Structure 1
Amino acid sequence: MTVAAGSQRTVTKGTVPFGEYQTWYRVTGDLSSGNPAVVVVHGGPGSTHDYLQNMAVLADHGWPVVHYDQLGNGGSTHLPGRGADFWTVDLFLAELDNLLTRLDIADDYILFGQSWGGLLVARHASLKPAGLRGLVIANAPASYPLWLQEMEVLRAQLPPGVNETLLRHEAAGTTDSEEYYEAMGPFYDRHVCRLKPWPRDYQASFYEVYNDPTVYFAMNGPSEFHVIGTLRDWGVEDCLPDIEVPTLVLSGRHDEATPVTVRPYAELIPRARWEIFEDSSHLPHLEEPERFVEVMLGYLRQGR
């Protein structure tokens, strides 16, 4: 474990055992401050915490922030030899539970789940954990069938020839080609991150996935819009009515998580409020950081 003091922030980094593996974490702020910790659950699956690092600013306002890398990438144990049957939703639910227990915050915490992390925290919250005080679901579809349905809509709107190139490589099984990679660009620039150039934090996570795509390929697939992994038929719509805590739902106007994919959270969670960021796509915390912090603090300060 290492401890560092920033301007007004105390940062603690380390790993906790998860069975025979290790989960990397970072705590910004004081877990004994009196406010529940905000636990940040990243997307992917198979990405890292890096692109969500700026959420540490919440610690400057009194809410300690916990980042972690889910098993399989970043600072946590990599397992490139494990097959798709190993990488399950239950595995990552168990890892989250283990982290909460190991950090001794399981009796008082708030979850922030982004993209795939949003589905994961929704499933966790539906189990009614006693210590969960609030829930933020950001840029997440309620199911992958809905996601795939909307991907067809968004892909059809890409510049002429782009989708045809993507479809050709998907049919041929050549999604690892340079041409496919380049053709992904217009979609990512419109619906994932509209900032030019991409922020360094987002690039860091993007290249972490690129360097070890084990989890991403197994559960998702070769790209955001071609989901052929184990999650392709999975969703959380069935459990949303069981979520009891106040829930903030976030999405961007240009988000790959379109309103059709997000609406079930707002309609099925009893105490949900939906906030749309007009100038954002999939990463409002990076694309509209000031408004993002304002919305988050409003939620936290109003007793959620």
Structure 2
Amino acid sequence: MTDNIKIHEGEAEFHVPAAGKPCKTWFKVFGDLSNGKQRPLVTLHGGPGVTHEYQLALVDLVSTYGIPVIVYDQIGNGKSTHLPEKNGDGSFWTEELFCDELDNLLKHLGIQDDYDLFGQSWGGMLAARFATKQPKGLNKLIISNSPASMELWVKAANKLRSQLPQEIQDALTKHEKAGTTDSKEYEEATQYFYDLHVIRLKPMPEEVQRSFESITEDPTVYMTMNGPNEFHIIGTLKNWSVVDDLHKIAVSTLLLNGRYDEAQDEVVMPYFQNISKVKWFQFSESSHLPQWEERERYMEVVGEFLINQCLRM
């Protein structure tokens, strides 16, 4: 996949006074940022609290369309600076922190005046928030499998949960009430939901598995901002919404979700209703990770959107 692709890996120093120690953002660039042929695509991973690995499918865009792709681990995750001492500190783990980190990385790479932005799940939430600030160098935005508000996300998740076998529902409810969401029975019941609505591929791609395992290795960010899983949201994002600010997004936007996605249609609908230049595409055989479940079609949809000069409605 990457045999003939130029690859550059590095770290960007990221000054965070509240961290109490030096911080860095690890990144990897696939393709040549200096060739000027195609605008670079900066990708924001989900979680919050997973890692860049599951975004590596997007490297297909380099070989097929010549689009440079940048992946990175957000602070607290993967190869970037970890801060386990900030576990539970909701005043530290904010979307402002991650927006500042993105801005810092763009400047470090020297692309702050000309780039496209891709965000998946939490990454799409973050990308949307960043775009509402109308950064001057942002040209196109892709929001993939992302809620416009956590209220809508939880409502949709509970609807999907109500369709699970009764014994699975009972196991989830029992452990949530008892505060034993770290039990094996609860993890197995949660996995049943994930197999239907997060990724339907069997076996799970190695890159996706590694990203999921990162939460177990360091749960700081995920547990503080989200909670134990995708439908039991008790972290600082539980009241998050970008709906009221979506009208501020001025760039052409591609909105993506899957038929079986946790991000059901009603969850992403506000993006479609409130962003002035937007196109929505749904993947009919996918859940939350169509970049793996329908990889070839996904890259075609994303690639064509990025290389075309205007948004065809």
- Mapped to 2, the partners of 1:7 and 1:24 lie a distance apart of 22
CA distance in 2, matches of 1:301, 1:79: 38
Q: Answer yes or no: is 1:149 the counterpart of 2:155.
A: yes
| 1:179-221 Cα distance to aligned partner (Å, 9 max, x none) | 1101111100000000011111100100011111110000000
Alignment of structure 1 residues 98-247 onto 2, 5 Å? 98-247=104-253
Separation in 2 of the partners of 1:156 and 1:6?
Answer: 43
Separation in 2, partners of 1:41, 1:214: 18
State which of 36, 39, 42 in structure 1 corresponds to 2:39.
Answer: 36
Question: 1:9 matched to which residue of 2?
Answer: 5
Alignment match, 2:62: 59
The residue type paired with residue 39 of structure 1 is V
Assess if the C-alpha contact under 8 Å between 1:33 and 1:62 holds in 2: no
Three-state SS of the structure 2 residue aligned to 1:179 is helix
Aligned partner of 1:261 among 259, 262, 267: 267
- The one-letter code matched in structure 2 to 1:31 is L
Q: Which residue of 1 aligns with 2:73?
A: 69
Equivalent residue letter for 1:72: G
* Post-superposition offset of 1:298: 1.2
Q: Which amino acid is 1:118 matched to?
A: G
- Structure 2: state its 5+ residue gaps: 16-21
- How many residue pairs match? The answer is 300
Change (3 A) 1:76 1:65: same
Deviations 1:19-59 (A, max 9, x none): 12010000000011212110000000011010111101211
Structure 1 gaps, min length 5: none
- CA-CA distance at 1:6 after TM superposition: 4.4
Deviation at 1:146, TM superposition (A): 0.7
Question: What is the Cα deviation at residue 8 of structure 1?
Answer: 2.0
- 1:32 aligns to what SS in structure 2? coil
- What amino acid is aligned across from residue 82 of structure 2 in structure 1? H
User: Residues of 2 paired with 1:175 and 1:250: CA distance?
Assistant: 31
Cα offset for 1:277?
0.1
Of the three residues 22, 25, 29, the one matched with 2:24 is 22
1: distance between equivalents of 2:191 and 2:139?
39
Equivalent residues of 1:248, 1:274 under 8 A apart: yes
Q: Deviations over 1:207-236 (max 9, x none)?
A: 011111110000000001111000000111
Per mean C-alpha deviation after superposition, the further-off stretch among 175-184 and 273-282 is 175-184
SS in 2 for 1:25: strand
1:78 counterpart residue number: 82
**Is the CA contact (8 Å cut-off) linking 1:114 and 1:137 kept in structure 2?**
yes
What is the distance in 1 between the residues matched to 2:309 and 2:125? 23
Partner of 2:257: 251
Aligned-partner Cα distance in 2 for 1:64–1:302:
16
Q: Residue 289 of structure 1 aligns with which residue?
A: 295
Distance of 2:11 and 2:155 partners within structure 1: 39
Q: CA deviation at 1:7?
A: 2.4
* AA at the equivalent of 1:29: G
User: What is the RMSD computed on CA atoms of the aligned residues?
Assistant: 1.1
Secondary structure at 1:84 match in 2: coil
Looking at structure 2, the residues matched to 125 and 253 of structure 1 have their Cα atoms a distance apart, in angstroms, of 26
The TM-score normalised by the length of structure 1 is 0.97
Shift of residue 84, structure 1, vs aligned partner: 2.6
CA distance in 2, matches of 1:7, 1:199: 20
Percent of matched pairs sharing the same residue: 51
Contact 1:33 1:64 (C-alpha < 8 Å) held by counterparts: no
